[in-house]
Amino acid sequence: MNCSPILIVSGEPNSIFLEIFFKAIKIKKIKSPLILISSKNILKKQMKKLKFNMKINLLNYKNFNFDKLNNKSINLVNVDFNQKKSFDKISKKSNKFIDKSFHIAFEIIKKKKIYKFINGPISKKYFLGNKYLGITEFISKKFGSKESCMLIFNKELSVCPITTHLPIKQVSKNINKKSIMQKIALINNFYKTFLGVNPKIAVLGLNPHCESISNYNEDEKIIKPLIKNLKKKYKISGPYSADTMFIKNIRKKFNVIIGMYHDQVLTPIKTLYEYDAINITLGLPFIRISPDHGPNEKMLGKNLSNPLSLIQAIKFLDKR
């Protein structure tokens, strides 16, 4: 195979990721070799539980040749995780396994110059704790990226939250011109570089109807004058009221809608497209994507999880 490999970290072992991975590689013909970083023990147990059968090709990540890889078997970099059950409750027990998996992935990316990376979901509560707001920030810190951006991408419409996993009471004090400008620049560059599109960007206001009963109105003081200035450089407009922005005849005018906080834009995009979206981190020296959902502990072992988001992530990278 001549295509550049896609590196995949399975993430939390007690999640639906391996299930959707099995489904994704069965459904789609993939040109890029897939390299999975996971536990052979967990992989074999979950394959048996979910009635999936495929040979495993064990790799030494410090010494393997990309040119000889194909997808006739699962190319696995094994990370030991000696769990007796195929699925168990999510806990801190998997933290060392997840951390080592990411460490190996980052070493491969830096040394082998792989630029296509997917990670499965993790538990923010157990793995990240209070150190990082999310995986976007975790990976950005590991690569020293001071400017990063979470883009929930769909070919019809994408969204970006200026603040990610912050409590609502902390959102307003974290809204500033610098952060908004950085994310707009990253999004604009991504669309032009990877999609050949000069994107039309809408920016939402922070407050309902972009109005506030407080003496200080972020929409008037920060967002509105910033957009006015940025119109000279980008196809951008706003601030718009969030309650009507996702109506069909309004949203179809834009490629991207930028919101001020997580649920302001992720709730409507997931309602509209469900699993047909992927989470892309912009601002890294490689393309990082994850399926747009979490571990989904309630669905473990049921073999009912929808693989569409992972399929779209692989499909996106397979073209690059």
At 120-171, the pLDDT tens digits run 999 999 999 888 988 999 999 999 998 899 999 999 999 999 999 999 999 9
CA atoms 142, 280, 205, 130: torsion sign: negative
pLDDT at 102 over 50: yes
pLDDT of residue 2: 52
Same domain, 112 and 175: no
Of 159, 157, 154, 152, nearest to 251 by C-alpha is: 157
pLDDT at 299 over 50: yes
Q: Which residue has the tokens 């040749």?
A: 65
Domain that holds residue 202: 150-282
Same domain, 263 and 288: no
Same domain, 135 and 19: yes
Question: What does the buried/exposed string (b/e) look like for 155-168 if buried means 16 or more CB atoms within 10 Å of the residue's CB?
Answer: eebbbbbbbbbbee
Q: Which residue has the tokens 């997840």?
A: 98
Domain count, the chain: 2
Same domain, 319 and 257: no
Same domain, 171 and 297: no
Q: Which residue has the tokens 């009471």?
A: 169
Amino acid at 284: L
Same domain, 87 and 208: no
Look up the pTM and report it. Answer: 0.94
Which CATH number covers residue 73? 3.40.718.10
Tens-place pLDDT, residues 103-121: 999 999 998 879 999 999 9
Same domain, 59 and 131: yes
Q: Which residue has the tokens 């990411």?
A: 102
Number of Cβ within 10 Å of residue 105's Cβ equals 24
Return the SS3 of 167: coil
C-alpha span between 51 and 46 (Å, rounded): 8
